[in-house]
């Protein structure tokens, strides 16, 4: 019986457990496949640390947030134990014929490199940021947007009561999808995203025009947004253990600047990891389940080097090269359309 190993890698994301369950149910019901789950992303792959995954283990997990396998940003080439030869030995030792990597752009880049080094591997795209190209949507994004939209709605009522300007900071390192969707859904008066610089003067103009209509201004900003005079996205928390700047805090920078320039009392809120935690929305559970079923079909066909993806309403297979190397950013035209009614 063919046996495959699943891993979840990179930041976690609501819907990961639905993928794991969908894969195991499809595989055991339709293809006579067996599965193990590697612990903590590529760490479990490198060290051959895996748990058996059967129907009983995945029962009822699609409504749970996080990932039952754990995740990490551990790289498969990390010295001294990483690299393809060690991984091949680990796969042989635990009797695994191929790997299913569930992750974002970094995970797919790592998977592509492993493929080139002879590891049979396929991919499933995940990220709350929705910035992975080659798929129309990733699971987790919908849940994050629901949470961010509710946050805007809540900030709006307290902002109205106190006649304050409210600033909500959401995630989005290179792409402002969460800010765009939550901002549009909740009727924000300005949406600020990494793809498009806006001057402080312009932001304050929007804020003042809202106040002049007797309303309380609501600004949604993605963590990666930069004012024109900034050279890089705001980060005051140093680097993470993988040498990436830990973003966050642009909302706290903007709020006093807006208050100083407009005279309108302004408060900032950082939504942070609330966006990534908790139960997945129905939409993300469905997409995760469909991806899981599709990736079981993919490994049944030995479709190594491909990633499952959503195109329109169809689940398709795309080569890794299509998924890595570029960030799916918010199109300028889309932003401009939303911007036309800011203020």
- φ and ψ at residue 183, rounded to 5 degrees: -65, -45
**What is the distance between the alpha carbons of residues 323 and 341, in angstroms, rounded to a whole number?**
33
Contact residue for ligand ATP among 31, 49, 77, 185 (CB under 6 A): 77
Residue whose C-alpha is closest to residue 102's, from 24, 33, 194:
24
Q: Does 175 bind ligand F6P (CB under 6 A)?
A: no
- Cα distance between residue 195 and residue 221, in whole Å: 12
* Region from 39-47, 102-110, 135-143, 301-309 binding Mg ion, contact rule CB under 5 A: 102-110
C-beta of 320: minimal distance to ligand ATP in Å? Answer: 11
Q: Please indicate if the annotation marks 172 as binding a ligand.
A: yes
Residue 324 CB, shortest distance to ligand ATP, in Å, is 8
Tell which one of 105, 169, 198, 284 touches Mg ion (CB under 5 A). 105
Percentage helix, strand, coil, to 5, in the chain?
40, 20, 40
288 forms part of the interface with ligand F6P (CB under 6 A): no
Burial 116-128 (b: 16+ CB within 10 A, else e): eeebbbbbbbbbb
Closest residue to ligand F6P, Cβ-based?
Answer: 11
Q: Which is nearer to Mg ion, 131 or 198 (CB)?
A: 131
Short-list 107, 96, 103, CA closest to 53: 96
**Residue 195 interacts with Mg ion (CB under 5 A)?**
no
Question: Which stretch, 106-114, 151-159, 170-178, 311-319, contacts ligand F6P (CB under 6 A)?
Answer: 170-178
- Is residue 223 close enough to count as binding Mg ion by CB under 5 A? no
283 contacts: CB under 8 Å, gap ≥ 6:
142, 143
| Interface pattern 23-42 for ligand ATP (x via CB under 6 A) | --------------------
**Chain positions contacting ligand F6P, by CB under 6 A:** 11, 127-129, 171-173, 240, 247
């Amino acid at each position: 019986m063919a046996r495959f190993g699943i891993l979840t890698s990179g930041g976690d994301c609501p819907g990961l457990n639905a993928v794991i369950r969908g894969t195991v149910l499809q595989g055991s019901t339709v293809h006579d496949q067996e599965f193990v789950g590697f612990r903590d992303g590529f760490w479990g792959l490198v060290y051959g640390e895996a748990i058996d995954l059967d129907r009983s283990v995945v029962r009822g997990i699609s409504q749970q947030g996080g990932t039952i396998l754990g995740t990490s940003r551990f790289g498969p080439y990390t010295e001294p134990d990483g690299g393809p030869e060690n991984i091949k030995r680990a796969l042989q030792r635990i009797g695994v014929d191929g790997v299913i990597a569930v992750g974002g752009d970094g995970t797919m880049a790592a998977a592509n490199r492993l493929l080139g080094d002879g590891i049979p591997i396929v991919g499933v795209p995940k990220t709350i940021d929705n910035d992975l190209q080659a798929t129309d949507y990733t699971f987790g994004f919908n849940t994050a947007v629901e949470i961010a939209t509710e946050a805007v709605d809540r900030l709006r009522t307290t902002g109205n009561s106190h006649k304050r300007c409210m600033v909500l900071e959401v995630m989005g390192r290179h792409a402002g999808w969460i800010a765009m969707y939550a901002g549009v859904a909740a009727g924000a008066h300005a949406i600020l995203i990494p793809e498009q610089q806006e001057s402080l003067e312009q932001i304050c103009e929007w804020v003042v025009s809202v106040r002049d209509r007797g309303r309380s201004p609501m600004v949604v900003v993605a963590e990666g947004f930069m004012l024109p005079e900034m050279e890089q996205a705001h980060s005051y928390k140093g680097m993470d253990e993988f040498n990436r700047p830990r973003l966050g805090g642009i909302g706290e920078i903007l709020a006093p600047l807006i208050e100083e320039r407009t005279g309108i009392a302004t408060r900032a809120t950082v939504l942070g990891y609330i966006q990534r935690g908790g139960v997945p929305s129905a939409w993300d559970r469905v997409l995760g389940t469909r991806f899981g079923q599709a990736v079981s079909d993919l490994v049944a066909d030995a479709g190594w080097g491909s990633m499952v993806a959503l195109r329109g309403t169809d689940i398709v297979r795309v080569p890794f090269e299509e998924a890595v190397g570029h960030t799916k950013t918010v199109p300028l035209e889309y932003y401009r359309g939303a911007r036309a009614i800011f203020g």
